[in-house]
Amino acid sequence: MDMKVSKKKLGLKEKYQHMTRGLGWETTYQSMDEVFPYAKYEGIKIHDWDKWEDPFRLTMDAYWKYQAEKERKLYAIIDAYAQNNGHLSVTDARYINAVKLFLNGISPLEYMAHRGFAHAGRQFPGVGPRVACLMQSLDEIRHAQTQIHSLSNYNKYYNGFHEYRHMLERVWYLSVPRSFFDDAITAGPFEFMVAIGFSFEYVLTNLLFVPFVSGAAYNGDMGTMTFGFSAQSDEARHMTLGLEVIKFILEQDPDNLPIVQQWIDKWTWRGYRVLTLVGMMMDYMLPKRIMSWKEAWEVYFEENGGALFKDLARYGIRPPKWLDQIEQDKDHISHQAWATFYNYAAACNFHTWIPTDDEMDWLSQKYPNSFDKYYRPRLEYWREEAKKGNRFYNKTLPMLCQTCQIPMIFTEPGDPTQICYREVDYKGNKYHFCSDGCKEIFEHEPEKYIQSWLPVHQIYQGNCFNEGVDPTAEGFDPLAAVLDYYHLNFGRDNLDFEGSEDQKNFDAWRGMATKNT
Amino acid sequence: MGVAAIKEYAFESADRLENFHGNQLLYIGWDKHLMFCAPFCLPLPPAMRLGDIIEKVLPGVFGYHPDFARIDWSKVEWLKSGQPWRADFDKTLAELGLKHKDVLRFQTPDLNGIKGSAS
Amino acid sequence: MSKVFIALQTNDDTRSIIQAILADNPHAIANEQPAMVKIDAEGSLVVRRSSIEDLIGRDFDLQELHINLISLTGHVDETDDELTLSWNT
Ligand SMILES: [Fe+2]
Ligand SMILES: [Fe+2]
């Protein structure tokens, strides 16, 4: 009874077919339209969901296996880093402020991405994208958790990490990343996928996770390097998904093209504005620098993005709008952003400082067309004043852009000495914008953006004080009241790095780590 | 254009005048002085004179800049929503026709910021 | 022609992978940066399972790449034997 059983292992493609298709069915108790109520209202037409292909063909069993391995590696390094007082091996304590910004401004977006992909996955009638969204949703909660775990180590020693969750919904500058994601998650599932899956993940996240995280490694921060690269290893899959979404939608129906193009324009611009923060982190907050923001932009946006849009041209997609302005801005936005946080250092949960002479020389060299001419003079002036005990703290609230919610710090394309003002009248009210991009995004969906929770206006409306605080009382100090509402400790979390508790502690502890006395 | 939505989608502006307790918002920027990273947003009573704003409010806002003390206010040029505008220091915001969320810019042609860098 | 790239963490697992990629893609250029290696290539880039296996002396599943992968660009075509990155233009 010799029966030869030929045990043929399934190939990758067949395995993927079996593990995804056939998991869905046509509903009969309720109509498909009622089960998937968000599938059609955005105007995207899908005729055959089975045309969806996941290029990585990752199935759930393989997913668990590799993710578990990544987690083991990650936590081994994080533990070792903590056990060895790794925080004292970073280049200098100024660096830690970049990590504060990461935890406060970026990690919460990971959590929002988790929710967004879970929601989009639930709403797609097709099984292929549902499985892909499910995996990405799990990836994103992993990113939020691993970042919080890694950075909690810093919270034991340094200020400004303690209330990132509370601050996200209150602190003025955090309304920028927060409103970006709120905008995406309140859109329909297709727009969300183009916004986050494609425009953000494919076109922009490399800038965040590759050069910045490599920079963290260069500055001795193994914790951030590890969670950063571990997150980015998922990102490669997300980017592939983002690109697949675009191809899939465009191949389904020619009517989808103009809708998708408008989303690409909008979300590239929205994401680009948010990345201003990252530009500043790279140029000003890494004591040892590997690459300027401008160089990173050229590699990861111009070169890569260029290749991508050249490829997508066969579907009729053109590169995102406002690229000519973006091209000019790369010499300026990181400097403009740092100056902003230097202005409002009293209302921040991290420290700012004037770059050293060496650092300014590096900036001149990397930005020969802009730094010495426009930005060095103000930094040097501020440094002189600080030496005299007159450090600049801007105490008046700025005008904000209605769309991106960033203070109106950006200059006219072609004139770095002139703030760019744009405005629109809509139903009897005026709205102001930092750029043509933000203005046009507003004009496309004014009803959405007239609801913007602009921190400056909210403060003036009296909505940013703790309960029971009376703004009409004698001697009322509005700044102090707002900082209380933020849960920001005046004199510890904010103000200049020079003289901060972080600076003193780091010096003392590093001394203890390298000497016996 | 409108927002794609599954049902009617209409909201009031979060920043309408009546939310500001009797004040109106005035935005004000000083051209070529980008040491102040952005124009400012001020909540002001409509009955306030422009001259009082210049004398009593603006020093606290722009006074840190060494050019501020050198401004000759009679020579300042004003723009409203980017268009040339005639200022009258004796008139109130309401009398000047300045509405909620209007934006003024002022220019001081001889003063161009730290070392002439527009800072 | 457009460039594709693949970026990997610098560690012991990736040493042989990078070596195999560079051998299989003579047109590719490796850029070493802190804690990572970015391999750029005009047009397309192929990662071949058999070449990696020859170097590490054990079976290798191409999906193991996910563990040390940082980023990539281009269209991905993955089979049991090869992972190819390419642009259509
Ligand atoms: Fe993520
Ligand atoms: Fe904006």
CB contact at 8 A, A117 and A137: yes
**DSSP annotation string for A6-57:** --PPPPHHHHHHHHHTTS----SSS-HHHHSTTSSTT----S-GGG---TT-
| Contact across the interface for A395 and B60, Cβ inside 8 Å | yes
* Chain B interface includes A429 (CB < 8 A): yes
Distance, CA of A190 to CA of C15 (rounded, Å): 40
CB contact at 8 A, B26 and B104: yes
Residues C23-30 have a mean pLDDT of: 97
Position A58 scores a pLDDT of 82
> For the domain C3-86, what is the CATH superfamily, name and number?
Monooxygenase component MmoB/DmpM (3.90.56.10)
Chain A nearest C-alpha distance from C81 (Å): 10
Percent of chain B residues past pLDDT 90, beyond the cut:
98
Distance, CA of A84 to CA of B73 (rounded, Å): 62
| Contact across the interface for B41 and A417, Cβ inside 8 Å | no
Q: Burial level of C61, CB count in 10 A (0-12/13-18/19+)?
A: middle
Range of the domain at B98: 17-116
CB contact at 8 A, A53 and A126: no
The residue extents of the domains of chain C are 3-86
Residue of chain A with shortest Cα separation from B35: A378
Neighbours of A60 (CB within 10 A): 13
**B40-56: burial string, b at 16+ Cβ within 10 Å, e else:** bbbbbebebbbebbbee
Nearest CB to C63 within list A66, A218, A232: A66
Residue B7 in domain: no
pLDDT in tens for each of the 517 residues of chain A?
A: 565 666 667 888 888 877 777 778 899 999 999 999 999 999 999 999 988 888 778 888 888 999 999 999 889 989 998 888 899 989 989 999 999 999 999 999 999 999 999 999 999 999 889 988 999 999 999 999 999 998 899 999 999 999 999 999 999 999 999 999 999 999 999 999 999 999 888 777 888 878 888 888 889 888 888 888 888 888 888 888 888 999 999 999 999 999 999 999 999 999 999 999 999 999 999 998 889 999 999 998 998 888 899 999 999 999 999 999 999 999 999 999 999 999 999 999 999 999 999 999 999 999 999 999 999 999 999 999 999 999 999 999 999 999 999 999 999 999 999 999 999 999 999 999 999 999 999 999 999 999 999 999 999 999 999 999 998 889 898 889 999 999 999 999 999 999 999 999 999 999 887 777 6
Residues B57-69 have a mean pLDDT of: 97
Distance, CA of A313 to CA of A87 (rounded, Å): 47
* Chain A interface includes C78 (CB < 8 A): yes
CATH of the domain at B94: 3.10.20.560
Look up the ipTM and state it: 0.98
Position A191 scores a pLDDT of 97
| Ligand 2 centroid – CA A441 distance (Å) | 9
Chain A residues whose CB is inside 8 A of the B81 CB are 423
| Contact across the interface for A225 and C35, Cβ inside 8 Å | yes
Distance of CA B39 to the CA centre of its chain: 7
- Domain count for chain B: 1
Residues B8-15 have a mean pLDDT of: 95
Q: Residues with beta carbon < 5 A to ion ligand 2?
A: A 401, 403-404, 434, 438
Distance, CA of C30 to CA of A145 (rounded, Å): 33
CB contact at 8 A, B90 and B51: yes
Q: How far is CA A119 from CA A39, A47, A114, A192, A511, in A?
A: 12, 21, 9, 10, 50
A-C contacts (CB, under 8 Å): 101
Neighbours of chain B (3+ CB pairs under 8 A): A
Nearest CB to B21 within list A38, A377, A462: A462
Chain C interface mutation, best of A15, A200, A213, A304, highest count of C Cβ atoms under 10 Å: A304
| Contact across the interface for B11 and A451, Cβ inside 8 Å | yes
Position A213 scores a pLDDT of 86
| Ligand 2 centroid – CA A435 distance (Å) | 6
Residue B10 in domain: no
CB contact at 8 A, A478 and A494: no
Distance, CA of A257 to CA of A177 (rounded, Å): 28
Residue B5 in domain: no
Q: Of all helices (H) and strands (E), which one includes residue A304? A: helix A304-312
| Contact across the interface for B31 and A419, Cβ inside 8 Å | yes
First to last CA, chain C: 7
Q: Do chain B and chain C touch with ≥3 beta carbon pairs under 8 Å?
A: no
Chain A interface mutation, best of C2, C39, C47, highest count of A Cβ atoms under 10 Å: C2
CB contact at 8 A, A414 and A381: no
Nearest CB to A214 within list C35, C67, C76: C35
Position A512 scores a pLDDT of 86
Position A61 scores a pLDDT of 85
Three-state helix/strand/coil letters over C13-79: HHHHHHHHHHHHCCCCEEEEECCEEEEEEECEEEEEHHHHHHHHCCCCCHHHHHHHEEEECCEEEEC
Q: Which of B107, B119, B61 is nearest to A411 (CA)?
A: B119
Distance, CA of C30 to CA of C55 (rounded, Å): 18
| Ligand 1 centroid – CA A146 distance (Å) | 10
| Ligand 1 centroid – CA C35 distance (Å) | 20
Position B7 scores a pLDDT of 92
Chain B interface mutation, best of A340, A369, A396, A402, highest count of B Cβ atoms under 10 Å: A396
Q: Model pTM?
A: 0.94
Q: CB under 8 Å, gap of 24 or more: what pairs does C56-59 form?
A: C56/C16
Residue B3 in domain: no
Question: Which residue is listed with tokens 């990836």?
Answer: A139
Calculate helix-pair angle for A222-252, A211-218, nearest 10 degrees: 170
Distance, CA of A157 to CA of A362 (rounded, Å): 30
| CB half-sphere exposure, A274, CA atoms < 13 A | 29
Residue B1 in domain: no
| Contact across the interface for A58 and C66, Cβ inside 8 Å | yes
Q: Do chain B and chain A touch with ≥3 beta carbon pairs under 8 Å?
A: yes
Nearest CB to A232 within list C5, C71, C76: C71
Chain A residues whose CB is inside 8 A of the B40 CB are 396-399
| Ligand 1 centroid – CA A275 distance (Å) | 15
Distance of CA A158 to the CA centre of its chain: 23
CATH architecture entry for A59-397+473-514: Orthogonal Bundle (1.10)
| Contact across the interface for B38 and A41, Cβ inside 8 Å | no
